[in-house]
């Protein structure tokens, strides 16, 4: 039974229960003269994931609510406090062995889409002698990895590569919950860490994601405990989402973001900002040399595989239900996920600290939406009209269980019309000059075409997600 300060999502609360809690609060507040029910957003429970936070937020709403700037400052402050918590006393690195010739990699989150592609590229490199793929439980890892390879169009035989060892563990547990022997082998042999595993969920709050920040701190300590002359480099897979509150007129540069307010808004982006800062401070206070890679939007793999929970597949499914697709302005620099993974592996020896992996040759959104409209056999309508249909689905009792876009409604509401040279659904132009210099394959990626759209839709149809 969770206490008043326990995060209910870390104790098994799911989206249905979150909706039930919110509906109960709305119901109980209906007769309140003081609480403006429209100020209780869809993600109210996710944003206030403890009993105490829910009670405090309701009390604030009864007192007249809190203004947007106040809320942004409050969240930015919580982010700064978390950075402080995870940047105390970095262990001192002590070299006790000679440099090791063989490259040995520890990579996290390989059961996911990007992780599977990263693993494939790592295994293909002759200068890498061993790859340890560390994933969270359950322990049927061989099966899960094989399934992810298959789903993502990767040869499933790779799971039996003599260079691969699959490990089930927990970054937050002592010795990552590995045997003392396995942990020591890792500590003594690893020359590169690729930290890719993350909860990709745009609903949960920063406090729910805190264990991921804590886990990254454990990885930093692990790297600094290496006996090699230099600790392993630590590549952190962040996200271009950290720029979510950036001003439209700006270019998002491959450099640190000192102001947390730029990343405020989603627990996901806030957790990435906090982790970037922890790594930046680790680099200042120790000999660790982290590399922070911020992928932009990743699109389907060569077999068309695209996580059905990602916003664009969700938009496709929702559009099939409503019978029309939205017209979206601007251009897109989405990069197919397998190309992003290749570039990410190519930058492993880069001396750069921040790199943005997105498509160097963006295309107008129209180049994607027109073929999609033909393939799905539904017309394009003004965005406002499409959103209106989504709002109508959201107001129905069956809402999110029928239309997956209801769960992302705040994201779809955030749409702004932009000029043709601006990124669609993104507040800035994402500069990638450093990444293009560091990853030779990036500039060779062909622009997205109708063929890619065909690949995504046929994959999602075969998976039963689109009809």
**Residues of this chain that bind ligand NAP (CB under 6 A):** 109, 111-115, 135-136, 196-200, 212, 237, 239, 295, 297-298, 307
- By C-alpha distance, which of 118, 215, 199 is closest to 164? 118
- Four-point Cα dihedral 162, 164, 168, 170, nearest 10: 150
Instruction: CB nearer to ligand NAP: give 116 or 322.
Output: 116
- E-strand ranges in 311-450 read 325-326, 331-332, 335-336, 354-357, 363-364, 380-381, 429-430
Instruction: CB nearer to ligand NAP: give 260 or 296.
Output: 296
Instruction: CB nearer to ligand NAP: give 18 or 61.
Output: 18
Q: How far is the CB of 443 from ligand NAP (least distance, A)?
A: 20
Instruction: CB nearer to ligand NAP: give 148 or 322.
Output: 148
Residue whose CB is nearest to ligand NAP in the complex, by number: 112
Q: How far is the CB of 149 from ligand NAP (least distance, A)?
A: 12
Tokens encoding 76: 């930015």
Q: How far is the CB of 113 from ligand NAP (least distance, A)?
A: 4
Contact at 8 Å (CB) between 252 and 239? no
Instruction: CB nearer to ligand NAP: give 191 or 307.
Output: 307
CA distance 350 to 355: 10
Instruction: CB nearer to ligand NAP: give 213 or 380.
Output: 213
Q: What is the number of alpha carbons within 13 Å of residue 169 lying toward its C-beta?
A: 28
Contact at 8 Å (CB) between 303 and 152? yes
- The per-residue DSSP string of 294-313 comes to EE--EE--TT----TTSHHH
Q: How far is the CB of 215 from ligand NAP (least distance, A)?
A: 7
CA distance 69 to 414: 17
Radius of gyration of the chain measured on its C-alpha atoms: 23
Q: How far is the CB of 120 from ligand NAP (least distance, A)?
A: 13
Instruction: CB nearer to ligand NAP: give 298 or 439.
Output: 298
Q: Omega before 138 cis (within 30°)?
A: yes
Q: How far is the CB of 16 from ligand NAP (least distance, A)?
A: 19
Q: How far is the CB of 298 from ligand NAP (least distance, A)?
A: 3
């Amino acid at each position: 039974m969770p206490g008043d300060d326990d995060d209910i999502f870390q104790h098994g609360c799911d989206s249905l229960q979150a909706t039930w809690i919110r509906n109960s609060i709305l119901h109980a507040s209906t007769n309140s003269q003081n609480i403006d029910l429209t100020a209780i957003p869809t993600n109210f429970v996710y944003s206030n994931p403890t009993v105490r936070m829910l009670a405090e937020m309701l009390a604030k709403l009864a007192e007249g609510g809190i203004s947007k700037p106040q809320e942004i400052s409050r969240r930015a402050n919580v982010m700064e406090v978390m950075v402080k918590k995870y940047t105390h006393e970095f262990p001192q690195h002590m070299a006790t062995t000679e440099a090791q010739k063989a490259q040995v990699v520890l990579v996290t989150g390989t059961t996911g889409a990007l992780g599977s592609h990263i693993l494939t590229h790592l295994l293909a490199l002759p200068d890498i002698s061993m790859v340890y793929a560390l994933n969270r439980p359950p322990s049927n890892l061989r099966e899960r990895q094989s399934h992810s390879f298959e789903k993502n169009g990767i040869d499933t035989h790779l799971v039996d590569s003599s260079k691969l060892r699959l490990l089930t563990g927990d970054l937050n547990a002592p010795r990552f919950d590995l045997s003392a022997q396995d942990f020591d082998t890792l500590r003594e042999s690893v020359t590169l860490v690729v930290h890719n595993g993350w909860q990709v969920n745009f609903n949960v709050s920063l406090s729910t994601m805190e264990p991921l920040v804590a886990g990254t701190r454990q990885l930093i300590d692990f790297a600094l405990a290496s006996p090699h002359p230099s600790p392993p480099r630590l590549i952190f897979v962040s996200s271009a989402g950290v720029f979510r509150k950036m001003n439209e007129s700006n270019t998002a540069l491959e450099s640190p973001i000192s102001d947390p307010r730029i990343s405020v808004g989603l627990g996901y982006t806030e957790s990435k900002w906090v982790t970037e800062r922890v790594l930046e401070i680790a680099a200042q206070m120790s000999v660790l040399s982290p590399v922070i890679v911020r992928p932009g939007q990743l699109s389907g793999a060569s077999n068309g595989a695209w996580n059905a929970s990602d916003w664009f597949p969700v938009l496709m499914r929702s559009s099939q239900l409503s019978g029309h697709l939205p017209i979206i302005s601007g251009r897109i620099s989405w990069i197919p996920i397998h190309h992003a993974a290749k570039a990410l592996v190519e930058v492993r020896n880069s001396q750069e600290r921040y790199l943005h992996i997105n498509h160097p040759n963006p295309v107008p959104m129209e180049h994607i939406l027109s073929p999609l409209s033909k393939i799905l056999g539904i017309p394009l309508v003004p965005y406002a009209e499409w959103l209106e249909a989504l709002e109508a689905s959201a107001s129905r009792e069956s809402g999110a269980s029928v239309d997956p876009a209801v769960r992302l409604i705040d994201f779809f509401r955030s749409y702004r019309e932009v000029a043709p040279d601006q990124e669609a659904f993104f507040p800035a132009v994402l500069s990638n000059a450093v990444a293009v210099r560091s990853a030779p394959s990036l500039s060779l990626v062909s622009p997205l075409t109708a063929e890619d759209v065909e690949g995504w839709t046929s994959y999602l149809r075969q998976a039963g997600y689109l009809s």
